[in-house]
Structure formats: C-alpha cells, structure tokens
Amino acid sequence: MIRDTIKTRITKAILEQLPECKLSPESALKTFWLDIRNEGGLRLSDNGDKAFTEAEIESFEFPFRLKKITDKEPIYSYQNLMLDLSLKVPCPYFIGRHKPTEPYIKIYDSKVAVMISLYGGIYEYLRNSQIKRK
C-alpha cells in the first residue's frame, strides 16, 4: 500500500495517460522518480522523463550550469543546487544533457517556468524563491 502523496497522485495520473504501460503504481514510483521517499524531491529519472514525454505533458527547458550568481557570492556547489531544487521546485523536473557541455533542466509546470523566465534563470529563481515544497 502506498501513501497518498503528491508523488503518488502524479504517478497515477501519468499511468492513466499511458494505457500500454504495464507498471503498477508502486513500480512506477520507483522507476519514475530519483528520490522515492514520499517527502523527497520531484526530480524525475530518465524513465520518468520518457513517461512524461510519452504522456505528452507540457514541458519547458532552461539552460543549466554551475555558475556564480554574482561576483560577490561563491559558486553554487552541486550539492547545494540539488538540495535547493529538491526543496524549492514544486513540480516535476528533469536534469539532462543535449551534449556533454550543454546541460538543461526541464520543468513540467507552466507557472514555475514563467517564474524562472521572469527571474532570468533557474539560479535567480532558486535564490529569490520563498516557495518550499510540501
């Protein structure tokens, strides 16, 4: 038995859009998400991204690199970045690469995508966002 969380509701909705998919909701939870804990972040695995793409869920891509936010601040470390993404991005997201030097983040929520665009990028969004995922 799985608990009713945002992750389980999203997973069940995706499975409904993929009638040819034979995964159970429990298996899909373990396959679609990188952090399978109920309270974990909403980062998708490769299989999760493929499932969302096959289900034709709208997505938005943004360039994604470790960089300085300003000259006065230290470089955003990978660990801090992943933690901030996990805590502050309230929708499913996927981190991938078009080429080894071209990473991107794919956001599966138009409202969050608009906010990222208005802030000027993912780093500025994370730095200024007061949103904490529940």
**Residue 1 pLDDT greater than 90, yes or no:** no
> CA-CA-CA-CA torsion for 92, 62, 123, 72, nearest 10 degrees?
160
Confidence of residue 81 (pLDDT cuts 50, 70, 90): confident
End-to-end CA distance of the chain: 21
**pTM summary value:** 0.87
Give the pLDDT of residue 72: 60
CA distance 91 to 43: 8
CA distance 46 to 56: 15
Confidence of residue 61 (pLDDT cuts 50, 70, 90): very high
Amino acid letter at 110?
S
Question: Which of 1-5, 63-67, 97-101 is most confident?
Answer: 97-101
Tell me the pLDDT tens digit for each residue of 104-116. Answer: 999 999 999 999 9
Give the pLDDT of residue 38: 79
Boundaries of every domain in the chain: 6-54, 60-128
Q: What angle do CA 13, 96, 98 make, to 5 degrees?
A: 125
